A and B are shown apart, each in its own frame.
Chain A
Amino acid sequence: MIRGAVLATGLTVLLLLAVVGIVLVPIALALPDPAGAIGIFLLGPVSDLRHLGNIIEMATPLLFTGLAVSLMFRAGMFNLGAEGSFFLGAVFAAFAILEIPLPGWAIAPVAILAGGLVGSAACVIPGVLRARFGASELVSSLMLNYAALFFGLFIVNYVLRDPNAGAMLSYKFPPAAHLPRVLPGTRVHLGLPIGLAACALGAFYLFATRWGYAARVVGANPGFARHLGLKITAVAASVQALGGFIAAAGGAIELQGLYLRFTWQSLPGQGWNGLVVAILAGNNPLLVPPAAFALSYLQVGGDLLARNYAVPAELVGLVQALVILFATASAITRSPRLARLLARRGEQRDVA
């Protein structure tokens, strides 16, 4: 088990390096100063406290969406609603902050809860439609992400909008709505410990409770689950609700940790990033934090590159696409030769 984990981690690190090389080297060669560009991408993010803080701050939402996608995939549903849930979660957190009269101490937690509950709809609806009617959760979750975007913008424009702000922005939040900073000198906020705790709890749920066991059996082997007498559709749908809540609460926490008011005009892409994190983590909640930090390291590298050279930060999107491709390419991950190379032994082990 431990050998398997080491092997898988080694493979993942190698893969990340290979992907970064494939994308970065040709682009850097087109720039006047290739070595400087590669250097700033790879070393810039760890060069000082502020950039390290950026990595942690950008990894925080990925902890939630990565965990959410991992759990939903484990239960055997290809639900991509985390993107819509994250966005709606933030919208309804803003709604709770601005529209519900609450004592100061209650504002932040109630907003996270409200955002989490309402925002989970973008994951719950595809899950229920699949369980109840057999409609493809993949297709309906992709559609509902866009519906969630425009519905959220409707709420912002018609309910939360500050007419004096000029653009389509909400009213400013009261100070009690903001999550406190936890690392002086950075913007890292309370969302980080909450996210890490959520991943630990997620692992406990998945590997140490009967509900988590049921979810894993339903996802891995529906036939066996039916033999055990598990209610397959109910189990799968309830895990979608849990995943949706986590992704949506992540959106609320991101908003309350970093923003003074609601400003998003489009889907922030954290659901897709969460998918990449889940794939890197092998849908294992314990591996979500390292995967989230790795991805966010690349994002900060991309941002630094964009700031110093004429290369758009969208470069990171190409890296993510290749990560998805290579991490799921069984011709690579199941390659006996590569496994031998990493294990330095003749025998093959099942990568758990």
Chain B
Amino acid sequence: MWHNLLTHLGGGLFLAATLRVSTPVLFAALGALISDRAGVINIGIEGIMLAGAFAGVVGSAFTGNAWLGLLTAIVVGGALGAALSGAVHWLKADLILSGIALNLACASGTVLLLFALTGDKGMSGSLPSKVLPNIDLPFLDRVPVLGTAFGHQHVLTWASLAAVPLVSLLLMRTPFGLRLRAVGENAEAAAIAGVRVARVQFLALVLSGALGGIAGAFLSMGYVSWFTGGMSAGRGFIAIAAEVMGGGLALGTFVSALVLGAAEAFATDLQGIGLPSELMQTVPYIVPVVALVLHAARRRATAA
């Protein structure tokens, strides 16, 4: 049994599961990265993800088109990012607490709206929502490991892989990215140099929210094909942990998201061989804590 499990870990199925499980975490972690580099870490990404999952289902059900559902999720995510910016820049509320408030509002707001639309508080089953497609690569089917790993992945899984270099380019190679990092490093100095701090942070939060919206759309239009209350289940927080572990870089964030995804996929497999499912469900939340501690300890050791 253990031998089988170990061979499985190196196999295409496990790799495929890891990529699938990592997708929402990766999108949200890239969103957290953009906001963090601008100095306005988006704790609300957990709630934004939930709202994105809801918006995707509702958008696709009412337009009959999965892509318009995705667009709805992106727009709603971006709007919630803008709302967080409004709370911080206009109302001058605390950044972290506003993010928590956003999470609370999304958790109850999605249930209220779901009830208003379907008369059901729990699940969107009665809405005729669509799912986004997988991308089939038949020519990979004969390649041993890669075929199973990459042959039939979800379109948003591929998009999340593509988003890594794009976010990296945006942050590191564009004038906007330079201003964004300058604001995050030292807002006062950036302001003196003529950067409009609030505007840059607003845009960063909108982008961050849009990525969180895509992460949510994957949950309800790929991972499963419906919306349930609280379905983000802390993935937004896991994404923030991935971002912190990633050391502020897109590539590092990508690697961390993959590691956390692999931990979750592995825990799911262990449930399959009969280990207590409740204990295995703690793994995706304990691994980020351990990784955070290792990361912090190493950073402290380098600083000393």
CB distance from A311 to the nearest CB of B (A): 8
Partner of A318, one of B108, B286, B289: B108
CB distance from B158 to the nearest CB of A (A): 28
Which residues of A lie under 8 Å from residue B115 when comparing CB positions?
310, 312
Which residues of B lie under 8 Å from residue A154 when comparing CB positions?
276, 278-279, 282
Could you tell me which residues of chain B, from 259 to 304, have a CB within 8 Å of some CB in chain A? 276, 278-279, 281-282, 285-286, 288-289, 292-293, 295-297, 299-300
Could you tell me which residues of chain B, from 89 to 116, have a CB within 8 Å of some CB in chain A? 90-94, 96-98, 100-102, 104-105, 107-109, 111-112, 115
Partner of A133, one of B105, B233, B279, B300: B300
CB distance from A97 to the nearest CB of B (A): 20
CB distance from B115 to the nearest CB of A (A): 5
Which residues of B lie under 8 Å from residue A328 when comparing CB positions?
93-94, 97-98
Bound-state Cα–Cα, A143 to B87, Å: 25
Q: A322 and B289: CB pair below 8 A?
A: no
Closest chain A residue, CB of each to CB of B303: A134
Closest chain B residue, CB of each to CB of A30: B116
Verify if A151 is at the interface (C-beta below 8 Å from B): yes
Closest chain B residue, CB of each to CB of A143: B285
Q: A142 and B234: CB pair below 8 A?
A: yes
Chain B binding surface, main DSSP class: helix
Partner of A134, one of B112, B241, B299: B299
Partner of A143, one of B100, B107, B281, B288: B288
Which residues of A lie under 8 Å from residue B152 when comparing CB positions?
none
Interface string of A255-295 (1 = CB under 8 A from B): 00000000000000000100100010000000000000000
Whether A324 touches B285, Cβ cut-off 8 Å, given contacts A139-B244, A330-B93, is no
Whether A136 touches B282, Cβ cut-off 8 Å, given contacts A317-B104, A322-B101, is no
Q: A324 and B104: CB pair below 8 A?
A: yes
Q: A139 and B87: CB pair below 8 A?
A: no
Bound-state Cα–Cα, A272 to B47, Å: 14
Which residues of B lie under 8 Å from residue A158 when comparing CB positions?
276, 278
CB distance from B82 to the nearest CB of A (A): 14
Verify if A146 is at the interface (C-beta below 8 Å from B): yes
Which residues of B lie under 8 Å from residue A157 when comparing CB positions?
276, 278
Q: A150 and B282: CB pair below 8 A?
A: yes
Q: B104 and A151: CB pair below 8 A?
A: no
Verify if A170 is at the interface (C-beta below 8 Å from B): no
Could you tell me which residues of chain A, from 311 to 344, have a CB within 8 Å of some CB in chain B? 311-312, 314-318, 320-322, 324-326, 328-332, 334
Chain A binding surface, main DSSP class: helix
Bound-state Cα–Cα, A193 to B40, Å: 42
Bound-state Cα–Cα, A182 to B37, Å: 54
Verify if A228 is at the interface (C-beta below 8 Å from B): no
Which residues of B lie under 8 Å from residue A17 when comparing CB positions?
none
Bound-state Cα–Cα, A125 to B289, Å: 10
Q: B111 and A312: CB pair below 8 A?
A: yes
Verify if B54 is at the interface (C-beta below 8 Å from A): no
Q: A142 and B237: CB pair below 8 A?
A: yes
Q: B108 and A150: CB pair below 8 A?
A: no
Q: A136 and B244: CB pair below 8 A?
A: yes
Q: B296 and A133: CB pair below 8 A?
A: yes
Verify if B238 is at the interface (C-beta below 8 Å from A): yes
Verify if A147 is at the interface (C-beta below 8 Å from B): yes
Verify if A129 is at the interface (C-beta below 8 Å from B): yes
Which residues of B lie under 8 Å from residue A173 when comparing CB positions?
none
Which residues of B lie under 8 Å from residue A28 when comparing CB positions?
none
Whether A151 touches B278, Cβ cut-off 8 Å, given contacts A317-B108, A329-B91, A329-B93, is yes
Bound-state Cα–Cα, A279 to B97, Å: 9
Verify if B240 is at the interface (C-beta below 8 Å from A): yes
Bound-state Cα–Cα, A329 to B101, Å: 12
Which residues of B lie under 8 Å from residue A331 when comparing CB positions?
90-93
CB distance from A61 to the nearest CB of B (A): 17
Closest chain A residue, CB of each to CB of B240: A139
Q: B87 and A134: CB pair below 8 A?
A: no
Q: B91 and A139: CB pair below 8 A?
A: no
Which residues of B lie under 8 Å from residue A150 when comparing CB positions?
278-279, 281-282, 285
Which residues of A lie under 8 Å from residue B238 when comparing CB positions?
143
Which residues of A lie under 8 Å from residue B104 when comparing CB positions?
272, 317-318, 320-321, 324
Which residues of B lie under 8 Å from residue A225 when comparing CB positions?
none
Whether A139 touches B292, Cβ cut-off 8 Å, given contacts A317-B105, A324-B98, A330-B92, is yes
Residue among B233, B238, B282 with the most chain A CB within 10 A? B282
Interchain residue pairs A-B with the least CB separation, the first 5: A317-B108, A154-B278, A321-B105, A329-B91, A314-B108
A residues whose Cβ falls under 8 Å from a Cβ of B: 78, 80, 125, 129, 133-136, 138-140, 142-147, 150-151, 153-154, 157-158, 272, 275, 279, 310-312, 314-318, 320-322, 324-326, 328-332, 334
Between-chain CB contacts (< 8 Å), 13 pairs: A129-B296, A136-B244, A140-B293, A143-B234, A143-B285, A154-B278, A154-B282, A157-B276, A310-B115, A317-B108, A318-B108, A318-B109, A331-B92
